[in-house]
Amino acid sequence: MSAPERLALAVAERPRSLVHLMARKDKANALAAAIKTAFGLGLPPQGRWAAGREVDAIWIQPDGWLLESEPAAPGALCARVAVATEGLGAVVDQSSGRSVIRFAGAPARSVLATCGRLDLHPRAFGPGSAAMTRLAHVACGIRLVDAAPSFDLIVGSTYARWLIEELLEASARYGVRFEPAPKPNRSAMPDSGPP
Amino acid sequence: MSGHRLPRGGFIDRSRRLAFRFDGKVLEGHPGDTLASALIANGVTLVGRSFKYHRPRGILTAGPEEPNALVELGEEGRTEPNTKATEVELFDGLVARSQNRWPSLAFDLGAVNGLAGKMISAGFYYKTFMWPAAFWEKVYEPLIRRAAGLGRATYAPDPDVYEAMNDHCDVLVVGGGPAGFATARAAGSAGARVILCERESLLGGGLLLDPALEGWRSDMIAALEAIPEVTILKRTNVFGYYDHNCLGAVEKLSDGPLGEGEIRQRYHVIRPKQVVLATGATERLIAFPDNDRPGVMMAGAALVYLRRFGVAPGRRAVVFTNNDSAYAAARALKDAGLERVAVVDARGKGQEAGGLDVRLACEVMGFDGRRVALHRRGGGGNAEAIEADLLCVSGGWNPNVDLASQSGAKTAWGAELACPIPGVPVQAERSAGAARGVFGIGAAARDGLAAGREAARLAGFPTDADFPLPKDDPPALALVPLWEVRGRGKSFVDLQHDVTTDDIRLAHREGFSHIEHAKRYTTHNMATDQGKIGGLVGAAILAEARGERPEAVGLPTFRPYTAPVAFGAFAGRATGDRFEPIRRTALHDWHVGHDAVMQRAGAWMRPFYYPKAGEDAWTAILREARMVRSGVGVCDVSTLGKIDLQGPDAVVFLDRLYANTMSTLPVGRARYGLMLREDGIVFDDGTVTRLGPEHFLVTTTTGEAEAVLEHMEFHAQTVWPELDLQFCSVTDEWAQMSVAGPRSRDTLTKAVAGLALSNASFPFVAAGEGTIGEVPVRLFRISFSGELAYEVAAPSGFAEQIWEAILRAGREFGIAPYGLEAMDVLRIEKGHPAGQELGGFTTAADLGLGRLVKKSGDFVGRILAGRPALIDPRRPRLTGIRPVDKAQRLRGGAHLVAEPGSLDSLGHVTSVTRSVELEQWIGLALLEEAESWRDKRVWAVSPLHEERVEVVVTSPCFVDPENARVRA
């Protein structure tokens, strides 16, 4: 077995497009219907997330969700959601505001127990579970992605490095691999020559 | 020197030897030993000196109740004082020192206190060292502390790694003896998630003391280990029981040397649905003269040393008891081959003797280490002396009710046991086995099985689980309460704090008759062993003095911690740089890569200035500030709080939150906003930008960003829930850059596409959207510096590209980044209030912002802002100051006075800096009657620094008072 395969845990940055969606007062049902029509996705109840074909929805507050997709052009997902939900909800781009960190491996639950106080036992936090909590002293969303187990940790982007460092330190004795996000595509930037 | 290792028996590995040092002497033990068992095996009888009288003391117990054998472990940063030798697992290379002796353990000068013991009674310190009062702090206390005191804490940092973690389960079982085993197995086999915490390194509790039970012990361990949802934590003491069924525990992973990445201790916060306390019982002392001599040992402890460690604590033993339990120790001593074992039973009738020398209806009245003096109870008959080097004592067993009591359940009185037992639970807990007075292995196991079934049922796992249990013991004879054998000499009730029965009686005579008063007057129960062995004895003696029964007196409140806990365990990994979260803007790496001097500002790491080669701090800061005043600079202001606010009622919400009007703000414009607290004091300032008819961007100061969001949540959720609005923090979504200076428009005109920036189309306080490259950006024409300035906001994932694009565009105008310090120079010159002025004590009028406050319509803070004290015209107002002598500097915090020697402060200096505009120090200050002092002179004095500077009172705005530049 080569060295990296012996590492029990992996911490990976996952660039995503993220949209914070909040229902207008008394419009949650209409908003859910609009999202269902546009994305074929049911907005999940408290404590849950739901997978769609191209967009996942994660419950993050009463009548509020985070929509997540593969990275797209700046503002693209936000604009699509805004069109689909006009008059029914507030739509805020968080693609740069939140970082998604994938934390995976057999001892992941033990490590997360040193960072936060949520019960992540499979009986308490099974498939489809999502929660807002605190990890390493910072506000954080968490969802169980698969039974590896893999967790997605969703944290304010200015806290991302802090949380990653905490995870790496807490994971060190199990062996951990870190996969940074690929550098953003700079070719989108014209005017990169000398002025 | 009579303790010795037995040829066989015990849970130790005789094939391996461990070397350790005690007071410099090298000794040997075996794996499985504690420091205490190894010391006894080496014949060490003297392990410490007592707290007050410096009396010689030996090992009394085999557990956390040990009052005497306190040692200092380790060296330098790993020094751990006040460690109980009975709790330390031996390892090769262990270094331990006895405490509280000077100059050495065997020859202790402080022992003279013992000769003067009649003088040093309870309350002695309070009575004697009272006068003169000034002497207490400087003379008496240091002397007393050196003479008394326990071990020494270290000043060196702890080099070890600790960890804190959170645990959840259906059933928490505290204690891994027969009751805990049965509880855990019953609940575990029902499918419940179970955590079993055992304080010791070996599971089994009382099962370890009877070889006949070894089969059941190992079967139970195997059964528990086979259940996947049962977690066994050994060496884990549950130290506290808190509200909401939350308990704290510390797992001691290693006392010895650690390997790379290994953890010393782990702190567990456990949140179980149900708790079963199977914490066992602790044997209690009997007070008699000289009951603290080396050679006195609790009878149960003697049994532990014999059976668990294969160590005999003496050669000739007397066992003094008032109950049946000590007979097991007596028999074990005899089986171990001691020369003589005599039982002194205070009762008229004892257990079947079985070849033991039993003296019924007798009591021990003294011990000098060689002979035990006894006489018949009631005083009839002649006194007798039995030669013995070991005196085992048993006054009965107290259920360990600490945790049950901490949980809020008031203790009840167990009449048969003559001690407190757990009361009616108030949280989701129950006690089982000896912890609730059910003694005997078989009975305790049966009780544990029942408790486990019940706890599992309540946690949602009904079960009729059953498995073989040990047989019940034959019924025991009743205990006869015996608290004290009165005689000449000191009879101790608290060995660690040297509290005697006479001290308790003295406390009563002097009026400290309540148990809580007597405790504090005598310090009884206040040592690290918390009175585990003698607490009840002292209470009973107080009861006798009061002419009452012990249950009428009760015990002092049980509080966490059941045993001392290292601070390192609580901290876990949160030490040093990892003490609290660090926030980094999207431009952090750029700043670091360009040699910025980074500093923490709250949670944030921020660039303070960007020194060029050879520049000192002020040179760099002033260069950056001049650059903004004369050309253009760019500053990372991403840390500003940003809140996206939307909804039909958003505008109503803003009008109610801000002291100034927001509803008149047109789309595409920004406005300065002032928020008050409910009490009328200024809370925060920032800007509001109307992005669309029902869409706003609110900015806050860096420091109050979270507080403002919380303030908004509070009002939206509870005060005006009828409003339809939605908001969330976008602080991290947008990187924000201030582009400031006369050439800022030229710079951004080059960089930004899709937005015309001429003064006519994009005037002061305009806001709009454009692109830099293909990245959408927002522009706000606002200024903190007093210069023509813009703030550019970009999605933070593109921050570096945008920042560099701005630098490229501004290169021909001499652009460079400026840091937080230059920003502060600029805002003080402009007279903008910031953290030092918005410190939670100023009103809008104090800051010169009174004209902003709307005259009609309600808003948060309006009513209380009208309180007489807040509208008093004499309140200090924001003003500017500058030294008369241009060469003099100013100091923040200095007081303003009319004359240099005056003691009447007129106000104080809030912010100071070196002005690039005036080429001298300037400051902002809060000054009474500020208007009448304008252009006059006052003195800025700092008596702490013996400084006095004559200053001219000016407008707080030192730069462009007509605001022409920002509108240029």
Q: How far is B639 from chain A (nearest CA, A)?
A: 9
What confidence tens digit (pLDDT) does each residue in B752-771 have? Answer: 999 999 999 999 999 999 99
Domain boundary (A93, A116, A144) is at A93
Buried b (16+ CB within 10 A) or exposed e, B242-279: eeebebbbbbbbebeeeeeeebbbbbbbbbbbbbbbbb
Average pLDDT, stretch B864-888?
96
A59 and A38 co-located in one domain: yes
User: Is A184 part of any domain?
Assistant: no
What confidence tens digit (pLDDT) does each residue in B796-818 have? Answer: 999 999 999 999 999 999 999 99
User: Is A190 part of any domain?
Assistant: no
Helix %, strand %, coil % of chain A (to 5): 25, 35, 40
Whether B583 contacts chain A with CB within 8 A: yes
Closest-CA residue of A relative to B571 is A114
Whether A191 contacts chain B with CB within 8 A: yes
Q: What is the mean pLDDT of chain B?
A: 93
Range name among B137-141, B334-338, B953-957 with the lowest pLDDT average: B137-141
> Smallest Cα–Cα separation from B51: which of B110, B106, B129?
B110
Return the residue in A60, A66, A96, A125 with the most chain B beta carbons within 10 A, the one to mutate for interface testing.
A96
Q: Which residues of A touch B573 (CB under 8 A)?
A: 114, 166, 169-170
Q: How far is B94 from chain A (nearest CA, A)?
A: 25
Return the residue in B161, B167, B168, B461 with the most chain A beta carbons within 10 A, the one to mutate for interface testing.
B168
Phi–psi pair at B885, nearest 5 degrees: -85, 115
A30 and A84 co-located in one domain: yes
Residues B873-968: name the CATH superfamily. Aminomethyltransferase beta-barrel domains (2.40.30.110)
Q: How far is CA B967 from CA B459, B673, B787, B964, in A?
A: 69, 19, 9, 5
* Least CB–CB distance from A124: residue in B168, B638, B774: B168
Q: With pLDDT > 90 as the criterion, what percentage of chain B qualifies?
A: 84
Return the residue in B166, B590, B713 with the most chain A beta carbons within 10 A, the one to mutate for interface testing.
B166
The answer, yes or no, to whether residue B733 has pLDDT greater than 70, is: yes
DSSP state, residue B909: E
> Which two three-digit tokens encode residue B688?
């509001």
User: Is A127 part of any domain?
Assistant: yes
Indicate the domain borders of chain B.
4-115, 162-280+399-458, 583-639+733-827, 641-729, 873-968
**What pLDDT, on a 0 to 100 scale, did the predictor assign at position B132?**
59
What confidence tens digit (pLDDT) does each residue in B412-431 have? Answer: 999 989 999 999 999 999 99
Burial class (CB within 10 angstroms; exposed 0-12, middle 13-18, buried 19+) of A79: middle
Closest-CA residue of B relative to A26 is B724
Residue pair B574/B580 in contact by the 8 Å Cβ criterion: yes
Closest-CA residue of B relative to A117 is B166
Q: Which residues of B touch A161 (CB under 8 A)?
A: 582, 584
Contact yes or no for A116 and B166 at CB 8 A:
yes
Residue pair B500/B493 in contact by the 8 Å Cβ criterion: yes
Contact yes or no for A92 and B728 at CB 8 A:
yes
**What pLDDT, on a 0 to 100 scale, did the predictor assign at position B624?**
98
Contact yes or no for A188 and B574 at CB 8 A:
no
Whether B577 contacts chain A with CB within 8 A: no
Whether A134 contacts chain B with CB within 8 A: no
User: Is A88 part of any domain?
Assistant: yes
The answer, yes or no, to whether residue B382 has pLDDT greater than 60, is: yes
How many structural domains does chain A have? 2
CATH architecture of B583-639+733-827: 2-Layer Sandwich (3.30)
Range name among A129-133, B152-156, B913-917 with the lowest pLDDT average: B152-156
Domain range enclosing A155:
7-11+98-179
**What pLDDT, on a 0 to 100 scale, did the predictor assign at position B352?**
74
Average pLDDT, stretch B225-249?
98
Average pLDDT, stretch B836-851?
94
Average pLDDT, stretch A70-99?
96
What confidence tens digit (pLDDT) does each residue in B283-321 have? Answer: 999 999 999 999 999 999 999 999 999 999 999 999 999
Interface of A with B in 34-63 (CB under 8 A): none
Phi–psi pair at B577, nearest 5 degrees: -65, -15
Q: Which residues of B touch A74 (CB under 8 A)?
A: 774-776, 795, 797-798
The answer, yes or no, to whether residue A112 has pLDDT greater than 50, is: yes
Contact yes or no for B582 and A156 at CB 8 A:
no
Closest-CA residue of B relative to A16 is B797
DSSP state, residue A24: P
Q: How far apart are CA B326 and CA B117, in angstroms?
A: 32
A71 and A46 co-located in one domain: yes
**What pLDDT, on a 0 to 100 scale, did the predictor assign at position A1?**
38
**What pLDDT, on a 0 to 100 scale, did the predictor assign at position B367?**
96
**What pLDDT, on a 0 to 100 scale, did the predictor assign at position A191?**
41
Average pLDDT, stretch B560-573?
90
Closest-CA residue of B relative to A76 is B776
> Which two three-digit tokens encode residue B943?
């008596």
Closest-CA residue of A relative to B802 is A189
Q: What does the CA dihedral B557, B560, B566, B568 come to, rounded to 10 degrees? A: -140
Q: Which amino acid is at B686?
A: G
The answer, yes or no, to whether residue B1 has pLDDT greater than 60, is: no
User: Is A130 part of any domain?
Assistant: yes
For tokens 């505290």, the residue is B174
A125 and A143 co-located in one domain: yes
A141 and A74 co-located in one domain: no
A88 and A110 co-located in one domain: no
Which domain CATH number covers A51?
A: 3.30.70.1520
**What pLDDT, on a 0 to 100 scale, did the predictor assign at position A3?**
45
Average pLDDT, stretch A118-141?
97
Cα B479–chain centre separation: 42
Whether B585 contacts chain A with CB within 8 A: yes
Q: Which residues of B touch A157 (CB under 8 A)?
A: 586, 732-733, 796-797
Phi–psi pair at B141, nearest 5 degrees: -60, -45
Q: How far apart are CA B307 and CA A54, in angstroms?
A: 68
Whether A158 contacts chain B with CB within 8 A: yes
For residue B231, count other CB atoms closer than 10 A to its CB.
17
Closest-CA residue of B relative to A182 is B797
A60 and A104 co-located in one domain: no
Q: Which residues of A touch B582 (CB under 8 A)?
A: 161-162
Interface of A with B in 61-90 (CB under 8 A): 64, 74-75, 89-90
What confidence tens digit (pLDDT) does each residue in A156-167 have? Answer: 999 999 999 999
The answer, yes or no, to whether residue B182 has pLDDT greater than 50, is: yes
Contact yes or no for B724 and A137 at CB 8 A:
no
Contact yes or no for A22 and B728 at CB 8 A:
yes
Q: How far apart are CA B522 and CA B806, in angstroms?
A: 74
Contact yes or no for B581 and A124 at CB 8 A:
no
Confidence of residue B398 (pLDDT cuts 50, 70, 90): very high
Average pLDDT, stretch B644-655?
98
Domain boundary (A69, A93, A117) is at A93
- Exposure on the CB side of residue A133, measured as CA atoms within 13 A: 19
Contact yes or no for B776 and A166 at CB 8 A:
no
Q: What is the mean pLDDT of chain A?
A: 92
**What pLDDT, on a 0 to 100 scale, did the predictor assign at position B79?**
83
A40 and A60 co-located in one domain: yes
Average pLDDT, stretch B74-90?
87
Helices (runs of H) and strands (runs of E) counted in chain B: 26, 50
**What pLDDT, on a 0 to 100 scale, did the predictor assign at position B738?**
98
Contact yes or no for B726 and A24 at CB 8 A:
yes
Q: Which residues of A touch B728 (CB under 8 A)?
A: 20, 22, 64, 90, 92, 94
Task: Output the CA torsion sign for B212, B213, B216, B220.
Answer: negative
Q: How far is B49 from chain A (nearest CA, A)?
A: 41
Cα B92–chain centre separation: 32
A106 and A66 co-located in one domain: no
* Least CB–CB distance from A113: residue in B165, B583, B585: B165
Average pLDDT, stretch B659-678?
97
Whether B809 contacts chain A with CB within 8 A: yes
Q: How far is B159 from chain A (nearest CA, A)?
A: 16
- Give me the long-range contacts of B137-143 (CB less than 8 A, separation at least 24): none
**What pLDDT, on a 0 to 100 scale, did the predictor assign at position B84?**
92
* Least CB–CB distance from A97: residue in B578, B584, B730: B730
Q: How far apart are CA B966 and CA B765, in angstroms?
A: 9
Residue pair A68/A15 in contact by the 8 Å Cβ criterion: no
Whether B582 contacts chain A with CB within 8 A: yes
Those residues whose C-beta lies under 8 Å from the C-beta of residue B555, and which sit 6 or more positions away, are: B411, B420, B515, B525, B535, B536, B539
Range name among B103-117, B362-376, B918-932 with the lowest pLDDT average: B103-117
B778/B115: higher pLDDT: B778
The answer, yes or no, to whether residue B75 has pLDDT greater than 90, is: no
Phi–psi pair at B181, nearest 5 degrees: -55, -50
A124 and A150 co-located in one domain: yes
Regarding beta strands B767-772 and B682-692, do their DSSP bridges make them parallel or antiparallel, or are they unpaired?
A: unpaired
Those residues whose C-beta lies under 8 Å from the C-beta of residue B353, and which sit 6 or more positions away, are: B343
Contact yes or no for B797 and A158 at CB 8 A:
no
> Smallest Cα–Cα separation from B966: which of B773, B787, B766?
B787
- Exposure on the CB side of residue B462, measured as CA atoms within 13 A: 0
Average pLDDT, stretch B74-82?
82
Whether B798 contacts chain A with CB within 8 A: yes
Quote the pTM value. 0.91
**What pLDDT, on a 0 to 100 scale, did the predictor assign at position B141?**
60
Buried b (16+ CB within 10 A) or exposed e, B76-103: eebbbbbbbbbbbbbbeebbbbbbbbee
Q: Which residues of A touch B803 (CB under 8 A)?
A: none
Pick one of 3.20.20.80, 3.20.20.70, 2.30.31.10, 3.50.50.60 as the CATH number of B162-280+399-458. 3.50.50.60
Contact yes or no for A97 and B798 at CB 8 A:
no
Closest-CA residue of A relative to B638 is A158
* Chain A, chain B: beta-carbon pairs less than 8 Å apart: 147
CATH architecture of B641-729: 2-Layer Sandwich (3.30)
**What pLDDT, on a 0 to 100 scale, did the predictor assign at position B110?**
58
**What pLDDT, on a 0 to 100 scale, did the predictor assign at position B131?**
57
A89 and A28 co-located in one domain: yes
Instruction: Write the CATH number of the domain with boundaries B4-115.
Output: 3.10.20.440
**What pLDDT, on a 0 to 100 scale, did the predictor assign at position A195?**
33
Closest-CA residue of B relative to A137 is B581
Q: How far apart are CA B43 and CA B23, in angstroms?
A: 14
A148 and A78 co-located in one domain: no
